[in-house]
Amino acid sequence: MVPFSSIAGMMFTIIAAFFVPVIGAIVLCAAGRLRWKAVIAGFFFYGLSQALLRLPLLWLFYQIPGMTSFVYSNLLGNALVMGLSAALSEECMRYVGARFAMGRRGQPVTGRDALGYGLGHSIAETFFVMGLTAFTNLMLAFALNQTGLSGYAEQFGQEEALQVYQVLTGTPALQFAAGGVERLLYTLVQICLTALVFYGVRRKNWRYPLLAAGAHFLFIAGVSLMQPHGVWMGEGYVLVFAVMMAALCLPVLRRLWRMDEKKGLEKPEESAGQPQTKE
């Protein structure tokens, strides 16, 4: 049987990764603290960044002679390609979203727009990266506990049943739960990166989007380098990086909010239909 602690870890990951961000976005938007437009834009532009930029960029990388062997046989090569492709595609699309979706009709992007966009971006990333894996693991655990290994093997075959059983019973419960903590930390990082890009757009200063791209590169490249050395090495790196990004970027988000207050944009609905002066 799959231990109850492992099932609890799977359930925690599903709640933390999927339900907490989604319910949080719904509650904040319903309360008027965020704009639906920002959350939806973050979700939509993340998908575009992967389909229109990152996947074609990776395809171009792999057309370079020797690049495929460099990436797959070299840990550093994989980290460089993954980090560079993520930083270029996602920060470019964040800039496009801030400049042309959130900052149209003379209205500046706001701190709440940055928060909502980052939250939508993280929700989309969770769906694209985790997909149905977390739900599938939980359903398989329930199926094994209900029918037993022999009953599961009758339906899906002995070999597949043994593989599933070994994975679900051999993985520590904390490792299942770590996925949920990781997604919460990723959400914090994505909000911080979005704050940097949106602040740069608001101030018309390219240094902040470039800083976001550099930080994103270090984040993804570092995770790629740490994870092969063990799950907890990767999780530790994510934790340390998220804390550093919060220390760096939350003051930037506060500056955006102070700018909103001076412009009379404390709440999203207050800005509708009001002419805005230039920064």
Encode pLDDT of 145-163 as tens digits.
887 777 767 766 777 778 8
Residue 267 has pLDDT above 60, yes or no: no
CA-wise closest residue to 182 among 236, 116, 244, 255: 236
Terminal C-alpha separation, the chain: 62
Q: Are 57 and 89 in contact (CB under 8 A)?
A: yes
Share of the chain above pLDDT 70, in %: 92
pLDDT of residue 264: 67
What are the phi and psi torsion angles at 13 (to 5°)?
-65, -40
Cα(76)–Cα(227) distance, rounded to whole angstroms?
12
Cα(212)–Cα(148) distance, rounded to whole angstroms?
49
pLDDT tier for residue 11 given thresholds of 50, 70 and 90? very high
Encode pLDDT of 75-111 as tens digits.
899 999 999 999 999 999 999 999 888 876 667 888 9
Token match 């319903």: residue? 30
pLDDT of residue 272: 44
Cα(216)–Cα(212) distance, rounded to whole angstroms?
6
Residue 277 has pLDDT above 50, yes or no: no
Helix (H/G/I), strand (E/B), else coil: 107: coil
For the entire predicted model, the pTM comes to 0.88
Q: Are 191 and 23 in contact (CB under 8 A)?
A: no
Cα(246)–Cα(256) distance, rounded to whole angstroms?
15
